[in-house]
Amino acid sequence: MRKRTEYRTKKEIKELKKKQKEEEYGANKSDWKYKMIFTTKKPSKKLKNLCKQLRTILRPEALFDNENDFIKESELDKFTTQMNVSHYFFVKQEQKDIFINFFDKKHSKSFLYKVIEYTDNFKVYPNEIYKEKPLVSFKGLEGEEKISFESLFYGSNTKKFRRILLITREKQILYIRHYLYKVANDISNYIISLNEIGPRLTLELQ
């Protein structure tokens, strides 16, 4: 008896391949929570600094400094799945231009940005302030981009945070500012202060 042929839509085939891929990698999306920053094999000093500072912003969920263990761009998806990474960034330089590719694995989305401004005003603080994720304020983000950035910082503690991250979109431009949050009590009043601790980034969506 001839075996019956099963017909599937393109969407069903895509989902099946995706499921097989995740099973091959041992993936379980509920375990994906870490973040990673990657760059090219021989990055410039500027790229190295930017990557280290991005890892600091993403603490405490940013994994180890991977700059000495080069991974091919084509193998990043498999590697990050094995490491339970939910989001990762690939930073590269083409001549004088720097690009940041942001991958949201949980929603299978990616966004490419060109760095318009990178001000290395990064300030080093004790590890204590990085024990909690930053509190993030979004303005102007919409659609898939907003969903991906919200998932990147999902679970921020609104009571114990020590840092604030402002992410603002104006047309195609994305502004990212990173602040240290302090509250001082002078007996009669609480004094709240924000000190920019860098890096200062301005990105253009490609």
23 versus 85: which is more confidently predicted?
85
Which domains does the chain possess? 34-205 (3.40.50.10480)
Is residue 191 within 8 Å of 106, Cβ to Cβ?
A: no
Q: Strands 109-119 and 173-185, how do they pair? A: unpaired
> What is the model's pLDDT at position 62?
93
Is residue 180 within 8 Å of 194, Cβ to Cβ?
A: yes
Closest to 108 in 3D by CA, of 15, 173, 26 = 15
Report the percentage of the chain scoring pLDDT > 70: 82
The predicted model gives 109-126 an average pLDDT of 95
User: Other C-beta atoms within 10 Å of 182: how many?
Assistant: 12
Closest to 37 in 3D by CA, of 115, 90, 113, 84 = 90
Residue count (the chain): 206
Lowest mean pLDDT among 4-13, 52-61, 86-95, 125-134: 4-13
Q: Assess whether pLDDT exceeds 90 at residue 25.
A: no
